[in-house]
Structure 1
Amino acid sequence: MVLVLAAVACENREDGPRVAPVDVAVQVIFDEQFDRAGASSTEVTLRNVTSQQTFTGTTDESGALILEAIPSGTYDIAARRVFSREAFATFSGLQVNEEEVTFNASRAAVAINSQNAQVELMLRSGPVGDLLIKQIYFAGSDRVEGALFRDQFVELYNNSNDTIFMDGWYIMGALGRAATTVQSFTQPDGQWDWQQSIGMPANVRANEDFLYGKWIYQFPGTGQQYPVAPGKSIVLAQTAINHQSPFVGNDGEAVTVIRPELTVDLSGADFEVFLGEEFPNPLASDIDNPAVPNMKNIFIFGRDFILDNPGREAVAIFKSDTPVRNFPQYPTPNVSEIRDNTNLYYQIPVALIVDAVECQPSPTNQVPTKLPTILDAGYTFVPAGSFSSQSVVRKTARTFGDRVILQDTNNSEDDFTFFPIASPRTFAGN
Structure 2
Amino acid sequence: MELNTVKDAFDRVTKKQKLSYSKAQEVIDLIHREVNVALEKIQSGHGSDWKSVLAELKIKLKETAPLTQLEGTQKDLNISLSKYPKILEKSFNPDISKAYRNVDLDIETTNEIIANHFYRQGLFEVGDCFILESMEQEPVMSIKSPYVQMYEVLESMRTQNLEPALTWASANSSKLHANGSDLKLKLHQMQFLEILRKGSQSDAILYARAHLSPFATTHMIEIQKLMGCLLFAQKLNQSPYSELLSSMNWDKLAEEVTRQFCNLLGQSYESPLSVTVAAGSQALPPLLKFMNVMSGKKQEWQSMKQLPVPLELDDDFQFHSIFVCPVSKEQATEDNPPMLMSCGHVLCKQSIMKMSKNVSKTFKCPYCPNEINASQCKQLNF
**TM-score with structure 1 setting the length:** 0.19
Task: State which structure, 1 or 2, has the greater radius of gyration over its C-alpha atoms.
Answer: 2
Structure (1/2) with the larger helix percentage? 2
RCO comparison, higher one (Cα < 8 Å, 6+): 1
**TM-score with structure 2 setting the length:** 0.20
Structure (1/2) with the larger strand percentage? 1
